[in-house]
Copies of this chain bind each other. A is one copy, B any other.
Amino acid sequence: MTSSTDLRKTDLRETVESYWASAEARDWAAFAGTLAEDVVYTLPQTRECVRGRERYVQFNREYPGDWHLRIERMVAEPGQVVTWIHFTVGLEEMYAISFFTGDAEGRVASVTDFWPEPYEPPLGREHLVERY
Contact = CB atoms under 8 A, between A and B. Distances in A.
A75 B97 CA distance: 13
Interface in A10-65: 43-51, 55, 58-59, 62
Q: How many copies does the complex hold?
A: 2
Contact of A117 (B82, B119, B125): B119
Contact of A46 (B43, B49, B84, B120): B120
A59 to B, nearest CB: 5
Given A45-B116, A115-B116, 6 more contacts: A44-B116, A49-B132, A73-B80, A77-B77, A82-B82, A97-B114
Interface of A: 43-51, 55, 58-59, 62, 73, 75-77, 80-82, 84, 95, 97, 99, 114-121, 125, 128-132
17 contacts: A45-B117, A45-B118, A46-B120, A47-B118, A48-B125, A48-B129, A48-B130, A49-B129, A51-B130, A58-B128, A59-B125, A62-B128, A75-B80, A77-B77, A97-B116, A116-B116, A117-B117
